[in-house]
Structure 1
């Protein structure tokens, strides 16, 4: 039986920017859950986009509409830091203040059960260093089904997720440990972690490109952080968070991309999960689910990144 009536124990962090319509929908989902603490992280307007000023102000005004018993903390940037630095610094600010957090972006709408799911698992694995990430995402239910309420994976899907200060303390936005490794050591690390030549090549390229230029990402660095610590992520039996950000205002998930052959359609509905949760017997990586996640979520990346590289070259020439 699904239930979302339990009082929330975990603070919620919400990352916002310039999309008040999306922000309002996510805020309403948070409002229904009534966390006792809300930590709002906002990026500033872009200097070349005058319309950002009003949009950013409208998104921030939504946070002022908290009408339940809730302590609100704000971390608002005066200038635009970008969708790499701003989430990274914002999440670090969150864990300077709280031990655990559920983290949502302004285009990720959670099912009510997502909050209880995170609450229970944050408590269950609070002192288990093997577990570093709790995701609300499941894009593969039609491909792979299982009886347990969740499984363990190498991957850290982050359209609605939760973690602990003990895990985030290892986060390295600049990927210093990776850059200090010799190429053969990097390859061996990925081979040991992933055990699949294709996945190794894909992630070697992702990490190389993420560390060599600012592509406005923070989540690949988080994945690497978890891998360097030998950490696992939790993935739910059903999809608990849906992304509504596939539109013209998106940075990485414009609607045109979702219809092309090199970016999968991942905006699927969020559904309820049954409680009480059925826990796996062992805290160990599920190889089968990792193969499915690699195929659905990451095998598009090389083509996607080529398009970004082309855009960067065009911008460089016009500068």
Structure 2
């Protein structure tokens, strides 16, 4: 399979998986990869980040028929800044891209699925992103559905959608949120969660980039595509984890499955409410997520 879309690969300190991930992309037919490697936070991490760099160079030397663009940060800039500056740079050159972090193991179907979705919905401004993970649910015979929740454990998007991203979420305030929450038809608990998590993000009490991406979808009434089967396994719940140490671990290491091809497309583009509620239950409204948010509010 030839994949015409570029992959943006964000790495930090996982040398054991870096080469393997790059090889998976190559086998999936990817022809262009942008690699953004963050730098070490201290001397102990420098050994790992140097090994990551060595693995990338080794891949580059043994796969010269693939276009590999690298950016190695000399010092640690953090995941938030690495992703924001990296994607800003990529979308100055590309109209769409597939995005992977070094703790999100993609299946072969992930690349095929995101490629087909990027093609099919490239001009549909209702669709802002494509998720790689799935928690199952009823898709009414279709191969995928639509949700209000973008998820970034292996995903894809277009330049037109990323242009709506605002890391400062300037449009977020109480008045605007009241309007948005009504449109989104959020439950009381979900409304509480998102208002507080976005408030903390805007106050920079949470250093992240992905809650702002969710808000971009909310503010623009955008949808994310979610596959019927899980296509990405998150392996980032170990000692090398950067941002998932307090995430619901029941959603880690969920095996990926194959989709049935050719895909069966939904007859209408509209949110699958049941799927959105499943995503809420597993990712945002789990006991671990709620307790984590309460701790952040108190502190």
Task: Tell me which interval the TM-score lies in, with the shorter structure as reference length.
Answer: over 0.9
Per mean C-alpha deviation after superposition, the further-off stretch among 266-275 and 188-197 is 188-197
Q: Select 2:179's aligned residue among 171, 177, 188.
A: 188
3-state secondary structure, aligned to 1:177: coil
Shift in CA distance, 52/9, structure 1 to aligned 2, threshold 3 Å: same
Q: 1:96 to 1:8 in 2, by over 3 A?
A: same
Partner of 1:20: 15
SS in 2 for 1:239: coil
* C-alpha contact (below 8 Å) 1:39/1:72 kept by paired residues: yes
What does residue 38 of structure 1 align with?
33
1:1-319 alignment runs, 5 A limit: 6-46=1-41, 49-64=42-57, 65-66=59-60, 67=63, 69-139=65-135, 141=136, 143-144=137-138, 146-178=140-172, 181=173, 183-254=174-245, 257=246, 264-300=250-286, 301-307=289-295
DSSP-derived class of the 2:278 partner:
helix
- The answer as to whether partners of 2:104 and 2:153 remain within 8 angstroms in 1 is yes
Contact kept? 2:237, 2:252, Cα under 8 Å: no
Cα pair distance change 1:303/1:144, threshold 3 Å: farther
Distance 1:40 1:27 in 2: 10
Where does structure 1 lack aligned partners over 5 or more consecutive residues? 1-5, 314-319
Pair 309,94 (structure 1): closer, same or farther in 2 beyond 3 Å: same
Q: Which moved more, 1:148-157 or 1:212-221?
A: 212-221
TM-score, normalization by structure 2: 0.92
Q: What is the alpha-carbon root mean square deviation over aligned residues?
A: 1.8
Structure 2 segments unaligned to the other structure (5+ residues): none
| Number of residue equivalences | 294
Aligned-partner Cα distance in 2 for 1:42–1:204: 32
